[in-house]
Structure 1
């Protein structure tokens, strides 16, 4: 089998991205040669203007943004929560707090630099769990320090990165690449730079993306959630 390199654009505060990551991992595990598939995660900010340290509940923010009440906001937030349960995800809509994800993306980039694809995925997974299940404030520096260390990042190196602007250019480069490709929503998967898929599709559909990356077919784009 030809090696498959999958690039994924995702945001830490995107529930569909959390679902997409889990389904991608399952699709890889079920593929013919999972050891030949590598995944690199790229930064994408859905809410780049979110104030750092806001800490307000996501439900309150959704209600204000869409002009609805808390019940209406909960109904919106519950959709990915319900769809993620069969994938083993616990998304607690009442605990999620609005956060700026820029610094979280910086430590995800650190994970790739420090330990390769496996550590990058572990850092992202820890951040997803913290945000969606535990209601942690993932734009708080002390919280990011703890979460990064729990995921396996070197504590001293992590502290140095969080105290600086290191990897900021990396995040911006990912975002520029997304603009150049034409990405307008996440998760967005691209395999071997020739076939792409937008949205948190089923394990079977993501598996088809992996297969298509090796079959010599021309470039194809599939959109939709």
Structure 2
């Protein structure tokens, strides 16, 4: 079973949604048959490189409201993250561009498959939300990518060229085709779209339903007790009275 996820590195609900999905998969009887593939989405393609302001300042200017309102919103998100074992530093994160990080995620998928891509995704989210690092900084990206096993020469090739730009844009177009205007957005087994960081129970239900539909169970109708049949030892021959 494949789960495709559209998300952004700088999306706090994407990391929370990742943890909730992981909890659902952990409790899923067929968890060893689940593959997760990450797709790109940019919440703000025009974010500056390098970043020039904290995320809280950017949000206050974008949505309005005073510092107290932004602080309260940040507190609620941080508390939700804490419930998933994530120690966010939202007061320290910067409003940052993420396209280069997404390009490296495509490299990871191509080079090492879904497992290596997943390891890099986790590292980038942790760098941004837990360590409050600048994930547009090539030094930060290089360190993250090489620590999960990507070859440094390949990482540098991507960061110094336009490699995977088209793949990132194609991911974003696919999200729009699905009607996903925000992230996280999950597609389970190509059948079910799930928008947002839903509760664990929602993910668990989607996993069960998708598995049941792709692996239908045969209902056997029992015949009479004296019904004849053939088996490994030969065919039964009814005895004459």
TM-score between the two structures when normalised by the length of structure 2: 0.85
Query: May I ask how many residue pairs the two structures share in their alignment?
Result: 214
Return structure 1 stretches of 4+ with deviation > 6 angstroms. none
Instruction: Indicate the residue corresponding to 1:133 in structure 2.
Output: 130
Q: Kindly indicate whether the alpha-carbon contact (under 8 Å) linking 1:7 and 1:42 is maintained by their aligned counterparts in 2.
A: yes
Q: Kindly indicate whether the alpha-carbon contact (under 8 Å) linking 1:195 and 1:212 is maintained by their aligned counterparts in 2.
A: no
Shift of 1:68: 2.3
Instruction: Indicate the residue corresponding to 1:152 in structure 2.
Output: 149
Matched, 1:212 2:209: yes
Instruction: String of CA shifts for 1:125-182, please: whole Å, max 9, x gaps.
Output: 1111111111111111122111212232221111111111111111011011111111
The structure with the larger Rg is 2
Q: Kindly indicate whether the alpha-carbon contact (under 8 Å) linking 1:55 and 1:137 is maintained by their aligned counterparts in 2.
A: no
TM-score between the two structures when normalised by the length of structure 1: 0.91
Q: Distance in 2 between matches of 1:109 and 1:209?
A: 26
Shift of 1:69: 2.5
Instruction: Indicate the residue corresponding to 1:199 in structure 2.
Output: 196
Instruction: Indicate the residue corresponding to 1:56 in structure 2.
Output: 53
Instruction: String of CA shifts for 1:79-134, please: whole Å, max 9, x gaps.
Output: 22111112111111111111011111001111111111111111111111111111
Q: Distance in 1 between matches of 2:52 and 2:32?
A: 40
Q: 1:23 aligns with which of 7, 17, 20?
A: 20
Gaps of 5+ in 1: 218-225
Gaps of 5+ in 2: 215-241
Q: Distance in 2 between matches of 1:112 and 1:31?
A: 24
Instruction: Indicate the residue corresponding to 1:68 in structure 2.
Output: 65
Q: Kindly indicate whether the alpha-carbon contact (under 8 Å) linking 1:96 and 1:131 is maintained by their aligned counterparts in 2.
A: yes
